[in-house]
A and B are shown apart, each in its own frame.
Chain A
Amino acid sequence: MSENISSQLKKSFLFRGLPEEALTAVAQKVSARNLAEGDVLMRKGEAGNSLFMVDDGWFKIVTQDASGGELIINKTGPGETIGEMALLDQAPRSATVVAISPAKVFELKQDAFQEILNQRPDVALALIRGFSSRLRFSTTYIQKAIDWSQKIAAGDYGFIENTQQILKGSESDDDKATQLLSAFFQMVRSVKAREDDLKQQLEKLTLEIDEARRKQEFEDLTSTDFYANLKEQAKQLRAKRMASENEE
């Protein structure tokens, strides 16, 4: 059991850097929990005092939208950790997590986590590294996102092609920052497509003519005696002016 837990721990960004025997030490402190579909793992606003690693099954992370309806902000599955920040800051849960299939998680309670930190400064240091590298990664991309947002605001979408090639090289698919960027790029592509579409509609400002109506109106106007007379007068007038011009 604890070997299975060790290998699960290894997959998470938090414990990734730990040596084997440290992982085993952590694994001994965790307990397994089984959930049925629809079970609530944690509720938004509750005090957070443990971290979960998903061993099996899937969860939805939900919050409420402005009108009180359920808003799914993410889905999470095997190998991922949930609620890890609570181990450090003990802040209330920021979202509700509900099993959307039968699931199994490993729970690491805060006091157990604290105990590890006290006993193993090397583990504490490795965890801090894990957190800080993640933070750095996020900060870098937040900075980029600000930069890109300004470009989008200015109507410059040129960065999409270049930047996406760099992103493809990223291996940390489970990373939230990557998910955010993926969503961000999806958004930019949609906005650009919509804008292009709109531009095309404007350029193709279709000015069509009802030819039958055109013909009818022309006939109505020109079939009067006034018109026939006018046409004849205009013709004579022009001829007269032409003649006097030639004289001069």
Chain B
Amino acid sequence: MSKGKIVSIHSFRGGTGKSNTTANLAAQAALAGKRVGIVDTDIQSPGIHVLFGLDENKMGKTLNDFLHGKCAIREVALNIGEHAFDAEGRSKLKGKDIWLLPSSIRGREISQIIREGYDVNRLNEGFQTIIKDLNLDYLFIDTHPGLNEETLLSIAISDILIIILRPDSQDFQGTAVTVDIARSLDIPNLILMANKAVPKYDFADIKKQIEETYHAPVAGVLPLSFDLADNASKDLFSLRFPDHEWSKALRGVANAILAVK
């Protein structure tokens, strides 16, 4: 494969476990030997850096700097395979080809970009450039929930769109619109994933209902887990607890992504 694939992870509403899922999916792809980049485009409420053990001090240049023309996109990418061995799960990424492009977590910079907006085309160019610069197999994009312009752009340029939903009626309704948009934008690969499913439900039935409703494959139904909540974003859960039910189901989704030609 000569060209890297853009994998956008989206959910209609917040709280679906999107950032956590994105980080774990990217980590699984890196473990499988792929060259992986992760962009946090949830500029308004960035969070994925925490899962990789980054704080303000460890962050260098951010996506905000790139969007404001202060640096090249390559300068934003932080090699996780060379850093972040402070937790048991993350340490498994040692020597892997995985880069994180974080958003700024400085309040002033966040409010600035919300106020002034940014050029979505520049963001798009950044994606294409970083894929080329780092010779990525996959660029995972953690999107902002909802369907604002930046998110629509991330969806529009995706080769693979992962939509995460919780099995509840609000998510179900919102996801329907997202699916329609994805079809309208001719996204080549649409994959659904249910997260935070209450374990007493019949997961096979949830999968069936979602697939019948959206006419798209569900790559996994991941359980609501106290263990995961207890991990509190301190580590990459699927690497730290590979035998957990959530981790097993997540690997199913990762495999669905890796299987896309």
Interface residues of A (CB under 8 A from B): 202-205, 207-210, 213-214, 217-218, 221-222, 226-227, 230-231, 233-235, 237-238, 241, 244-245, 248
B197 — nearest CB in chain A belongs to which residue?
A205
Closest 3 CB pairs of A and B: A234-B156, A207-B172, A203-B202
Chain A residue contacts of B181, Cβ below 8 A:
218, 221-222
Q: Kindly state the separation between the CA atoms of A241 and B202 in the bound complex, as whole angstroms.
A: 42
Q: From the candidates B2, B157, B177, B185, name the one contacting A245 in the complex (CB within 8 A).
A: B2
> Which residues of A lie under 8 Å from residue B113 when comparing CB positions?
none
Q: Say whether, besides A208-B172, A209-B213, A226-B149, A202 and B202 are in contact (CB < 8 Å).
A: yes
Nearest residue (CB) in B for A245 is B3
Main SS class of interface, A: helix
- CA A210 – CA B169 in complex, angstroms? 10
Complex Cα–Cα for A96 and B153 (A): 80
Q: Is the CB of B209 within 8 A of A207?
A: yes
Question: Does B124 sit at the interface, judged by CB under 8 A?
Answer: yes
Does B89 count as interface, using CB distance less than 8 angstroms?
no
Q: Give bound CA distance, A200 to B137, whole Å.
A: 44
Closest to B177 in A: A217
A162 to chain B: closest CB distance in Å? 28
Partner of A227 from B152, B172, B202, B205 at Cβ < 8 Å: B152
What residue in chain B is nearest A213 (Cβ atoms)? B173
Please state if B206 and A209 are interface contacts (CB–CB under 8 Å): no
Chain B residues, Cβ within 8 Å of A241: 3
Within 8 A of A (CB), among B161-184: 167-169, 172-173, 176-177, 180-181, 184
Answer yes or no: B115 CB below 8 A from chain A CBs. Answer: no
Closest to B194 in A: A207
Q: Which residues of B contact A244 (CB under 8 A)?
A: 3
Interface of chain B residues 60 through 118 with chain A (CB within 8 A): none
Q: Considering the chains assembled together, what is the distance between the CA atoms of A12 and B105 in angstroms?
A: 86
Say whether B156 contacts A231, CB under 8 Å: yes
Selected A-B contacts with CB under 8 Å, 16 pairs: A203-B205, A205-B167, A207-B169, A207-B172, A207-B210, A209-B213, A210-B173, A214-B176, A218-B181, A230-B152, A230-B156, A231-B156, A231-B185, A237-B157, A244-B3, A245-B3
B186 CB within 8 Å of chain A: yes
* A210–B213 alpha-carbon span in the complex (Å): 12
**Given A202-B201, A207-B210, A230-B152; A235-B173 close (CB under 8 Å):** no
Q: Is the CB of B169 within 8 A of A208?
A: yes
Please give the distance in Å from A55's CB to the nearest CB on chain B. Answer: 56
Q: In the complex the two chains form, what is the Cα distance from A244 to B3 in whole Å?
A: 9
In the bound assembly, the distance between CA atoms of A227 and B157 in angstroms comes to 13
Contact of A202 with B200 at beta-carbon distance under 8 Å, contacts A221-B147, A233-B156 already known: yes
**Bound complex: CA of A3 vs CA of B3, how far in Å?**
107
Q: How far is the CA of A248 from the CA of B201 in the complex (A)?
A: 48
Given the interface pairs A203-B202, A222-B184, A248-B2, the reply to whether A214 lies near B152 with Cβ below 8 Å is no
Q: State whether B156 touches A214 (Cβ < 8 A).
A: no
Q: With contacts A207-B213, A230-B152, A234-B185 known, is A214 near B201, CB below 8 A? A: no
Across the interface, which residues of A come within 8 angstroms of B209, CB to CB? 205, 207
Whether B172 pairs with A209 at a CB distance below 8 angstroms is yes
Q: Is the CB of B201 within 8 A of A221?
A: no
Chain B hits for A210, CB < 8 A:
173
List chain A residues, Cβ under 8 A from B124: 233, 237
Name the residue on B nearest A218 (C-beta).
B180
Residues of B contacting A205 with CB < 8 Å?
167, 201-202, 205-206, 209
Enumerate chain A residues within 8 angstroms of B169, measured Cβ to Cβ.
207-208
Q: Which residues from chain B contact A208 at a C-beta distance below 8 Å?
A: 169, 172
* Cβ-defined contact, B153 with A230, below 8 A: yes
- For residue B110, give the distance in angstroms from its CB to the closest CB of chain A: 23
Q: Closest Cβ of chain A: how far from B96's Cβ, in Å?
A: 25
Q: Which residue of B lies closest to A247 (CB)?
A: B2
A residues near B147, Cβ cutoff 8 Å: 221
Q: Are A207 and B167 closer than 8 Å at their CB atoms?
A: yes
List residues of B (181-214) whose CB comes within 8 Å of A's CBs: 181, 184-186, 200-202, 205-206, 209-210, 213
A199 CB to nearest chain B CB (Å): 9
Rounded to whole angstroms, the CA-CA distance of A244 and B168 in the bound complex is: 42
What residue of chain B has the Cβ atom nearest to residue A248's Cβ?
B2
A221 → chain B closest CB, angstroms: 6
Q: With a CB–CB cut-off of 8 A, which chain A residues contact B200?
A: 202
Contact of A231 among B121, B184, B202, B213 (CB under 8 A): B184
Q: How far is the CA of A237 from the CA of B153 in the complex (A)?
A: 12
